[in-house]
Amino acid sequence: MSVARNLLLAASTNAWLRDRAMQARFVKRSVARFMPGERIDDAMSAALRQQSEGIGSILAHLGENVTTRGEAEAVTQHYLDVLDRLGASSLDAQVSIKPTQLGLDLDRDVCQQNVQRLVDRAAELRTLLWIDMENARYVDATLDLFRRMRRRSPFVGLALQACLYRTERDVESLLPLGAALRLVKGAYLEPARIAYPKKTDVDQNYYRLASRILGEHHRSGALLHIATHDPALIDRLSALINGVEIPSTAYEFAMLYGIQVPLQHRLVAAGRRVRVLISYGEYWFPWYLRRLAERPANVWFVVKQLFV
Ligand code: FDA
């Protein structure tokens, strides 16, 4: 992986940098490219616009690694309100949560209780609640959380990262559940001991895992989110989907707000189901640096904002 990517990912966890960057106007201007605004109303308006273009949404309130139970409770309450608002609207939108934003670092039981409340509310509304995968030290706890939630409700899905060697094993153990899965490449800085250091190997593993999941979900009726902006992978997987006639209910393409927008529209025009994740909230720094790391050329875009 590139030096720039590693530097940006290391910077994403630096509190000193975070406090300064979040005040800088030019940084705030460049963040607007990846999020419609900090408020839930901004995200819901963007979701409405997307719906008019044939694109579904996933809403994610930015934040991670909360340090008090009070914060975890406030996030839970926020998401309960969001689910209620979605239930009362005709928006085609789901919610995606991060376990460390709901208390995983503090106490696994507290986190589980919080996620359980959200899973139960999502089940009442018959909408999927997604659980993000954070950095590798949380994978075991997140899988455990997901399995418990899956026993309560079919309306819960899990993100898995193709960059990790272990994911192949995790996929095999999860397939019998027939659960909704979201396959991503992985946004965190991980050591070569546990993750493919070369991008080409991550891409190859992504294709292998997505094909395996699609083959199995094809039979079980479960959903795969093909969550990537990579046009080459999307083409290869589209060819596979067409070749073995995988039903359109078995997969959706998923992308992030503001990234590969023309490709999102091309997929919709080709009759594919597309869902775009919209992030919102004030705690955007680590998430934003992960977006820059995915494409270090984006840093020039930030620099240009200094001069507008
Ligand atoms: P890659 O990084 O190879 O990008 C392919 C192409 O897409 C690039 O060449 C570029 O053109 C464009 N592109 C990608 N990122 C860009 C950016 N930031 N700015 C501009 N262009 C860009 N990760 C994780 O660890 N846990 C999770 O739970 C999730 N959840 C999640 C949900 C959804 C819906 C998506 C789409 C992604 C995630 N991710 C994630 C992030 C994921 O792991 C990964 O970091 C990004 O999707 C970038 O990887 P790509 O698959 O797009 O490929």
d(CA 116, CA 3): 40
Q: CB neighbours of 260 closer than 8 A, spacing ≥ 6? A: 229, 231
pLDDT interval class at 153 (50, 70, 90): very high
pLDDT at 162: 98
**What is the set of domains in the chain, with CATH numbers?**
36-283 (3.20.20.220)
Q: State whether the Cα torsion 25-31-32-35 is positive or negative.
A: negative
- 123-134 residue pLDDT tens: 999 999 999 999
Q: What is the mean pLDDT of residues 245-255?
A: 93
Asked if 36 and 278 touch (Cβ cutoff 8 Å), the reply is: yes
Q: Looking at ligand 1, which residue's alpha carbon is closest to its atom 36?
A: 255
What are the φ and ψ backbone dihedral angles of 296, each rounded to 5 degrees? -55, -20
Q: For ligand 1, what atom is nearest to the CA of residue 184? A: 43
pLDDT at 161: 98
Asked if 118 and 83 touch (Cβ cutoff 8 Å), the reply is: yes
pLDDT at 283: 80
pLDDT interval class at 303 (50, 70, 90): low
pLDDT at 300 over 80: no
Q: Which of 121, 150, 182, 275 is catalytic?
A: 182
3-class DSSP state of 207: helix
Percentage of the chain exceeding pLDDT 90: 75
Q: Looking at ligand 1, which residue's alpha carbon is closest to its atom 8?
A: 230
User: CB count, 10 Å around CB of 266?
Assistant: 14
- Report how far apart, in Å, the C-alpha atoms of 140 and of each of 143, 248, 265 are: 5, 31, 36
pLDDT at 123: 97
pLDDT at 277 over 70: yes
pLDDT interval class at 251 (50, 70, 90): very high
pLDDT at 1 over 70: no
d(CA 254, CA 230): 11
DSSP state of 174: H
For a pocket test of ligand 1, which of 294, 299, 300, 302 has the largest count of ligand atoms closer than 8 A to its C-beta? 294
* 44 within ligand 1 shell (Cβ under 6 A): no
* 228 within ligand 1 shell (Cβ under 6 A): yes
pLDDT at 12: 79
- 42-101 residue pLDDT tens: 999 999 999 999 999 999 999 888 999 999 999 999 999 999 999 999 999 999 999 999
pLDDT at 45: 97
pLDDT at 181 over 70: yes
d(CA 22, CA 292): 15
pLDDT at 111 over 90: yes
* 55 within ligand 1 shell (Cβ under 6 A): no
d(CA 52, CA 41): 17
Mean pLDDT over the full length of the chain? 92
3-class DSSP state of 180: strand
Q: What is the mean pLDDT of residues 241-254?
A: 92
